[in-house]
Amino acid sequence: MSEGDMAVIKPEMMKSYIWLQTADGSIQQVEQEVAMFCPMICQENIQKGMGSSKNHAISLPERVNTAMLSLIIDYCRFHQVPGRSNKECKAFDEKYIRMDTKKLCELTSAADSLQLKPLVDLTSRALARIIEGKTPEEIREIFHLPDDLTEEEKLEPLKNSTDDPRIRLLNRLYARKRRELQEREKLKNAELEEERSDDRSVDDLLSFINGEIGDSKGIKTSKNKKKNRRRKDQQKNTCLYEANEIHEESSNLKFACPSDEVNKFRASPSLTLKLQDLNDDSLEDMVEFDDGDIDDEIDPALKEKIDREVEDFARRLNSDWPQRIQEILALDMLEDIQGGNGSYKQNIPTSANGWNNFDQMLTGF
């Protein structure tokens, strides 16, 4: 502070004020003890001598506009009073923090730029509580965030080291099924949208041949040790779980599965979709759909035969389905990929949300 300034200040030392200028230009004065609660303001004042007059108002960071400053001052005004009990502080904080999410974000940001840690913690915790328990879509909605994750980032990049036509067929089937279900969902929303063509490339996600062969080699096998009959066997396990119990049942348990029938099984690719996720771009991104790529070597006529046989198979199996499943069929949610007439009687596991997300591998979902 210059000597000239000192002369101006002294008579007003009854109640000191700090002058602050917000990003949107307005200048105001705030009681010194309140403003100094903010480390950044404190620093500007003490180290650089700013804030002692209107002309030397402390320029607040960009993230602090008038509205935010007002909120922050409210916080500081309460908390800078010494001797407040924990209970009082908590009550104030709980009431204080009630604001819409947008404001909360702004406030967090503003408090951070002023280095006001207690307020940053308070607002951050509040934001964390908002985020907890929500799906990614919901979070995106709340915070207006773009849905820009590519498949590479959702799933660890896996190299498809073979050009296996079966894998490409599977990819195509997945893509087509997802597209169909997506379309149906869009129709349900009474908006007909143009089908988006997916020209983004995919990193061959459905193969997991990632070339990491050497990881587990050279592992020492466990040492020979005497096998103690562990006490826990007796406790958690009884005759029920003894390995040497032979299960004998009549021969109707033996399902004849001639190898050809088994070979013709085709997996339905739709089943990992949760219906709510049909609009989830991420799933769509994950599969390559390239109409030019029709050089698969599987005979389409054989495919037709396979599909019909599997449906037959499933139909025989499902002769006395519970009501609920009949309802699903009635809604005709599933159509045969080849555009056939029958419904492929499968249940859509609705808990899966892009199961092939790396994270779900981790949590052993």
Contacts of another protein in 61-120 (CB under 8 A): 63, 102, 105-106, 108-109, 112, 120
Question: Does the footprint of another protein cover residue 223 (CB under 8 A)?
Answer: yes
Residue selected from 190, 301, 330, 362 as contacting another protein according to rule CB under 8 A: 362
Residue selected from 235, 295, 330, 339 as contacting another protein according to rule CB under 8 A: 235
Min. distance of Cβ 117 from another protein in angstroms? 10
* Measured CA distances, 302 to 52, 229, 309 (Å): 86, 54, 10
Question: Does the footprint of another protein cover residue 28 (CB under 8 A)?
Answer: no
Q: Report H helices in 264-322.
A: 281-285, 300-317
Q: Which residues between 237 and 296 bind another protein (CB under 8 A)? A: 237-243, 245, 247, 249, 252-260, 262-263, 265-272, 282
Q: Report H helices in the chain.
A: 3-9, 32-35, 39-48, 66-79, 86-96, 101-113, 117-131, 136-143, 151-154, 165-188, 231-236, 259-263, 281-285, 300-317, 323-330, 358-362
Min. distance of Cβ 32 from another protein in angstroms? 27
Give the residue from 64, 143, 139 showing the smallest Cα distance to 101. Answer: 143
Residue selected from 124, 185, 281, 338 as contacting another protein according to rule CB under 8 A: 124
Question: Does the footprint of another protein cover residue 322 (CB under 8 A)?
Answer: yes
Min. distance of Cβ 90 from another protein in angstroms? 17
Give CA–CA dist 310/316, Å, rounded: 10
Q: If binding means CB under 8 A, how many residues of this protein chain bind another protein?
A: 120
- Interface segment toward another protein; rule CB under 8 A; list 5-13, 15-23, 289-297, 317-325: 317-325
- Chain-centroid distance, C-alpha 66: 34
Cβ(201)–Cβ(147) below 8 Å: no
